[in-house]
Amino acid sequence: MPNINVLDKHIAELIAAGEVVERPASVAKELMENSIDAGASSITVEIRRGGITYLRITDNGCGIDRQNIRKAFLSHATSKISSADDLDSILTLGFRGEALASIAAVSRVEIMTRAEGEETGTRYCIEGSQETLLDDAGCPKGTTIIVRDIFYNTPARMKFLKKDVTEGNAVAGVVDRIALSHPEISVRFIRDGKETLVTSGDGKIKNTVFSVFGRDFAQSLIPCSYELNGIKVDGFISKPVNSRANRTMQFFFLNGRLIKTRTGMAALEAAYKNSIMVGKFPSCVLNIHVPASAVDVNVHPAKTEVRFADEKKIFDAVYYCTKLALEQGDTRPQMSFESKAQMKINSQKMPQPYKAEQIKIDTPPPFTKNSSFFGEVKAYGKVLEDLNAGTVKFNSPKETADADKIENDEDILLNNRPKQEEKAEEEIKPDAAESAPVFKEKQIQTEIKSEEKNEEKTETYIPEPFRVIGEAFKTYIIVEQGEKMLIIDKHAAHERMIFESLKKNVNDAESQLLLAPVTVTLSKEEYSAVLENIGVLSKAGYAVEDFGQGMVIVTECPTFIESGEIESVISELAGYLAENKKDLIPEKLDWIYHSTACRAAIKSGDYTSAYEMEKFVESLLNNPDIRYCPHGRPVLMEMSKKEIEKNFGRIQ
């Protein structure tokens, strides 16, 4: 059992200071990390009422001997470092010597511990930093810490705690991550008397992933392992087809510590480039092993941020590790010719990021009377603004090709990654010809019906007669109408029509009962956020129920959504709910409608029959208000006959 030192003021000041106790989850994290540092091979976490009234951590680690027990609860008391130099080579999870002191300051702590070689163990109680008991205890080697009534003496902080279930899910999230980062430790989690997680501790990440996230997720993973420049990366990455709508299932660990790493994330996603749809993200459980001197963990009190001495090396190691794992299986002896051809096909199939900069329109969009259009659109979010300001133009094919090259550059792609919702709409089904027509008569009728409803209230709009000429690139429907030629982006237009229809039917979202309910695995934070917002989701047409262990089950969804899209739309909504908890207004459901509409809308690349086109154009032209998709892209452009004739030199 190592000796505990109280750090002198000078070293204490070198350590990034800050709050370690925010909520039960942060207590669980600190205590579990202590157990890991103590060399435990088994850790049990038990909570009651979300960990607010009771949180117990039991380990079989080295224990704390009697003479060190009081010291352990002093501020800046640690056995892990003793001099400033030690800060350069931290291999333990703790080192600040603050956790026990901070926890004991705001709760009632009881600890039972016995160190190796000690005959009797120690029971020590401390409440609000005041010692209340120090006694013998018969206990096995290791440590049990019980933390009761967190914030009992600081009501102001108590106020910030969320509902029990939310706090409990946050603890579960911490336990999940710690279990994932240490597959060699058997982790058990008991919540209100029910065992909700046990990992085997057999050292196999895949088994741990299976225990934590269930079979479906575990089966979607590919193993990977790679070493480059002394940096070892191993773990699992998701198969490209199993990508998700957000990054919540990306877990990076550095020497067994959960970290946030933009470098790792960028490298991972760069490796998936061209094999994953735009707007989708890979999942991973990746452990990065580096020498302690190559990293600075002493950055943030929560210790999730780290700095690498050489970020490039980390990027390369993660990139090649991922890339290699993705390519394995495709590797064949005579691969060069075959794999090149394969790559070509793949890249043809894969959608490219949407390039807003390339759009230029020479003529005003339809239904606007007073605007003139010159110049270029700079960024996606500005499209609407620019349209109104009259600065949108179309590029020549050459400019478009050049822009393609630039956009495909890895750095630019990573640095200028457009926002999720903006990218989501460029999804193209991998093999367009095979996919069945997506417009269902029922859908179109619903749309028309809801428009009719609207028309009763407002004046009736009768469009000029039109004729559908056909479709270009399986994306743009070309229509002749009077003295104009219209080019309609079918995805953008359909998306907007669905969006409008969903909005009109607020409080009465038309939903369909699913024949086979769909289960969706979520991170515990998303899970919690979804369970808290079941009402909001149901208003938008999704019937979602708790399925236990981080899974929800979807039994109903809006009529527009196909069942194959449910998992992806729910995980996207869950990610949004988890991120934007604070500013969610149940009355404002536009963001849900966006996601729904985008998923439900026909994709560019999908096959559309002549009849469907006809019906679609009719309902679109019936509604002159539909000019932009929900993200602000134009849905329709027009070119006057005069303009065409001018260009052909028929008229001056």
Angle CA 590–571–544, to nearest 5: 80
Which CB, 108 or 494, lies closer to ligand ADP?
Answer: 108
Per DSSP, the residues of 438-493 read ---HHHHHHHHHHHHHHHHHS----PPPEEEEEEETTTEEEEEETTEEEEEEHHHH
Shortest distance in whole angstroms from residue 99 CB to Mg ion: 4
Query: What's the min distance (Å) between Cβ of 107 and Mg ion?
Result: 16
Q: Which does 258 bind (CB under 5 to 8 A by kind): Mg ion, ligand ADP, none?
A: none
| Residues 112/135, Cβ–Cβ less than 8 Å | no
Out of 50, 51, 63, 94, the only residue in the binding site for Mg ion (CB under 5 A) is 94
Residue among 104 and 629 whose Cβ is closer to Mg ion: 104
Tell which positions 354-373 bind ligand ADP, by CB under 6 A: none
Find the shortest distance in angstroms from Cβ 536 to Mg ion: 38
Could you tell which of ligand ADP, Mg ion, none binds residue 167, using a CB distance below 5 to 8 A set by kind? Answer: none
CB of residue 167 to ligand ADP, shortest distance in Å: 21
Nearer to ligand ADP, 3 or 132 (CB): 3
Residue 119 Cβ vs Mg ion, minimum distance, rounded to whole Å? 26
Among 38, 99, 172, 237, binds Mg ion (CB under 5 A): 99
- Taking the alpha carbons at both ends of the chain, their separation in whole angstroms is 94
Strand partners, 618: none
Amino acid at 56: R
Instruction: Say if residue 434 is exposed, middle or buried (CB neighbours under 10 Å; 0-12, 13-18, 19+).
Output: exposed
Which amino acid does the sequence have at 275?
S
At residue 387, the 3 state secondary structure works out as helix
Closest residue by beta carbon to ligand ADP: 94
Among 26, 35, 60, 166, binds ligand ADP (CB under 6 A): 35
Q: Is 465 exposed, middle or buried (0-12, 13-18, 19+ CB in 10 A)?
A: exposed
Which lies closer to ligand ADP via its Cβ, residue 5 or residue 275?
Answer: 5
Query: Quick one: how many helices (H) and strands (E) in the chain?
Result: 23, 24
H or E segment to which residue 101 belongs: helix 99-105
Partner in contact with 500, chosen from Mg ion, ligand ADP, none, beta carbon below 5 to 8 Å by kind: none
User: In angstroms, what is the minimal distance from the CB of 100 to ligand ADP?
Assistant: 4
Directed axis angle between helix 262-272 and helix 311-327, to 10°?
Answer: 30
Nearer to ligand ADP, 99 or 592 (CB): 99
Per CB under 5 A, which region of 94-102, 241-249, 319-327, 392-400 contacts Mg ion? Answer: 94-102
d(CA 56, CA 190): 10
Q: Taking Cα atoms as reference points, which of 142, 175, 153 lies closest to residue 27? A: 175
Instruction: Please select the residue that binds Mg ion; options are 4, 11, 15, 34, rule is CB under 5 A.
Output: 34
Binding mask 388-407 for Mg ion (x = CB under 5 A): --------------------
Query: Applying CB under 6 A, which of residues 24, 63, 264, 282 lies at the interface with ligand ADP?
Result: 63
Q: Which does 61 bind (CB under 5 to 8 A by kind): Mg ion, ligand ADP, none?
A: ligand ADP
| Site membership for ligand ADP, residue 97 (CB under 6 A) | yes
Examine residue 121 and tell whether it contacts ligand ADP (CB under 6 A).
Answer: no
Compute the CA torsion angle 559, 561, 563, 569 (nearest 10 deg).
-130
Q: Which stretch binds ligand ADP (CB under 6 A): 31-39, 361-369, 378-386, 491-499?
A: 31-39
Of residues 34 and 501, the one with the C-beta less far from Mg ion: 34
Per the listing, tokens 């869950």 go with 574
> CA-to-CA distance for 399 and 644, rounded, in angstroms?
21
Q: Which of 78, 243, 263, 358 binds ligand ADP (CB under 6 A)?
A: 78
28, 45, 52, 77: which one contacts ligand ADP (CB under 6 A)?
Answer: 77
CA dist., res. 497 & res. 483, Å (int): 25
Q: How far is CA 458 from the centre of its chain?
A: 42
> Interface residues for ligand ADP in 534-593 (CB under 6 A)?
none
Question: Which residue in 133, 145, 146, 139 sits closest to 118, CA to CA?
Answer: 139
| Bridge partner list, 236 | 223, 285
Per-residue binding letters, 133-172, with ligand ADP (x by CB under 6 A):
----------x-----------------------------
| Residue 72 contacts ligand ADP per CB under 6 A | yes
Distance (Å, whole) CA 16 – CA 162:
27
Q: What residues line the site for ligand ADP (CB under 6 A)?
A: 2, 4, 30, 34-35, 38, 59, 61-64, 72, 77-80, 94-101, 143
Q: What residues line the site for Mg ion (CB under 5 A)?
A: 34, 94, 99
